[in-house]
Amino acid sequence: MPPDLLHDMVAHIVPLVPALPVSAFVAILLPRLFGCAMSERYTYAVVSVGVLGATLFVGMLAALLLAGLGTPSVVGAGRWFAVGHDVFEVTFGLDALGLAYGGFSLLMVALVAAFSRRYLHREQGFHRFYALLMLFAAGLALVSLAGSLDMLLIGWELVGISSTLLIAFFNQRPGPVRNALRAFVTYRACDVGLVLAIVCLHVNFGDADFVRAEGAAWLGMPQRAAAGLALLIGFSLVFAAMGKSAQVPFSGWLPRAMEGPTPSSAIFYGALSVHLGPFLLLRCHEQVHASPLIGGALIVIGLATTAHGALVGRVQTDIKSMLAYGSVTQVGLIMAEIGLGLHLLALLHIIGHAGYRTLQILRAPSLLHDRHHLEQMLGHHVSHAADLDSGSNRWLTLPRVYRHALERGGLDAVLTDRLLGTLLDGLRRLDAVEQRWSGCLARRLLAVLPRGRRRLRAEEKAHVS
């Protein structure tokens, strides 16, 4: 096949991967906005077409990459907009990393969609769940196939907003809404790192595009910055990944995110969303390894998160929290692997852990039911509690260690009471100063105008009386 024809085929197929889930999202949302009744069969059919079609196109792209392209490439789909000398192109990247993660992500979305058809049957939010699932699938497709950090940021934010809305799925209760707000605040605070990295790249180099490096296994972003700027960009990307992947000290939102439906918990916090942080660092691995300080910090953060997740997970009393901290532990190990430069191992670890954890979370409700049924048949309680005096749990007998695990390391208290509390207190004081200043300025302006003077005299008389 001629290279030009092959390139044209790829350029027409790639935009369809995120476009199909977006079309399914619109097809579910529009009838609801106009008050039209929809059946569950219609919604599931629309979702099936969107997800399976996108998966099929990813398979075609992988076949074309292996058959004709052979090496990673960037495909342009037109200009987005231009500001001065900066031009924002709509670009998609085709390489082993993006196609592997994108294809796996869409397969997991299809699995969860099929599981949820009966799990959420006749649930009040059935259509809303599938609409948000399609928005999530579109975000994953954009992140996986992005040809620049600009495109990746769009998918990154779509994943974040769909994640937040699904945590608050049962919005008639205050708990899910409160936990969704906590996750949203963590996302927004740490997304500043990704935005800062993009701004630094545009200001200094005019673009944030991924390119094909000679001999590289997948697309990346070559190191072009000086030492100081490289440190800033690298640590900004690590900060963004820490929030999205619940690394210490931002791990407190992940067990709270289990307030959402079990299928969304499985695909977001067991499989895909929680692994977007490592994916970002794999995509920008040149920036991560621009300095030994960044790689060393990533190893420390990953190992600290692994130890924290393993310790806290052992004292949890509900299965979803145990699985959540199990995810925290494994993602911490993946972060450490990236810091050590073991990129292929990290990618395999992501795919293996995502599939295994998803099946665990999907199995959790029926596992509890099966255990209760077993206890009813046996006529007594079945205990699988570990012996604290033996094996790896022996150190939990230490009072300080056990208290640390029960309090989840005190990270929530540090972030909420000290850091956030201090920030809110400072903002309240600034607000009080601003109100006093604006009130004083308003009174001076009123004193100059004739009507204002009469109004002030009337207010003074009313105050005296």
Range name among 117-131, 294-308, 357-371 with the lowest pLDDT average: 357-371
- Half-sphere CA count of 389, side-chain side, radius 13 A: 0
Is residue 257 within 8 Å of residue 187, measured between CB atoms? no
Ranked by mean pLDDT, which of 75-84, 104-113, 354-363, 434-443 comes out on top?
104-113
d(CA 314, CA 310): 6
- Residue 118's CB is within 10 A of a number of other CB atoms, namely 7
Tell me the mean pLDDT in the region 252-273.
84
Which carries the bigger pLDDT value, residue 223 or residue 453? 223
- CA distances from residue 177 to 139, 170, 182, 183, 257 in whole angstroms, order as listed: 22, 8, 9, 10, 10
**How many angstroms separate the CA atoms of 188 and 240, rounded?**
9
Residue 457 — pLDDT band, cuts 50, 70, 90? Answer: low
Q: In one letter, which amino acid is 215? A: G
Say whether pLDDT at 190 is over 70: yes
The whole-number average pLDDT for the span 111-137 is 91
Non-local CB neighbours of 186 within 8 Å, separated by 6+ positions: 243, 250, 253
The pLDDT, as a whole number, for residue 93 is 86
pLDDT at position 294 is 93
Which backbone phi and psi does 261 adopt, to 5 degrees?
Answer: -60, 150
What does the pLDDT read at residue 123?
Answer: 85
Using CA atoms in the order 103, 107, 108, 109, what is the torsion angle rounded to 10 degrees? 100
Q: Residue 363: exposed, middle, or buried by beta-carbon count in 10 A (0-12, 13-18, 19+)?
A: middle
Exposed / middle / buried, residue 166 (Cβ in 10 Å: 0-12, 13-18, 19+): buried
Which DSSP string do the residues of 421-462 spell out, in sequence order?
A: HHHHHHHHHHHHHHHHHHHHHHHHHHHHSHHHHHHHHHHHHH
Q: Is the pLDDT of residue 196 over 90?
A: yes
Q: Averaged over 298-325, what is the pLDDT? A: 89
Answer with the residue of higher pLDDT: 265 or 442. 265
Residues 109, 140 contacting (CB under 8 angstroms): yes
Q: What is the pLDDT of residue 68?
A: 62
The model's pTM: 0.86
d(Cα 420, Cα 414) in Å, to the nearest integer? 8
Instruction: Tell me how far apart the terminal alpha carbons of the chain are, to the nearest angstrom.
Output: 93
Give me the phi and psi of 233, to 5 degrees please.
-65, -45
- Cβ count within 10 A of residue 216: 15
What is the tens place of the pLDDT at every residue in 215-235?
667 888 877 778 889 999 999
Element (H, E) at 26: helix 16-33
- Residue 249, preceding peptide bond in cis (omega within 30° of 0): yes
**Which tokens is 163 given?**
């994640």
pLDDT at 129 over 90: yes
Q: Measured between alpha carbons, how far is residue 326 from residues 19, 194, 333, 392 in Å?
A: 34, 26, 11, 16
Rounded to whole angstroms, the Cα distance separating 385 from 365 reads 19
Taking alpha carbons only, the member of 284, 224, 269 closest to residue 97 is: 284
Is 90 exceeded by the pLDDT of residue 70?
no
Condensed to tens digits (0 to 9), the pLDDT of residues 153-163 reads 999 999 999 99
C-alpha triplet 259, 263, 269: angle, nearest 5°: 65
The residues with which 209 forms a beta bridge, in sequence order, are 148
Amino acid code (one letter) for 133: L
- Give me the helix-helix angle, 96-119 and 343-378, nearest 10°: 20
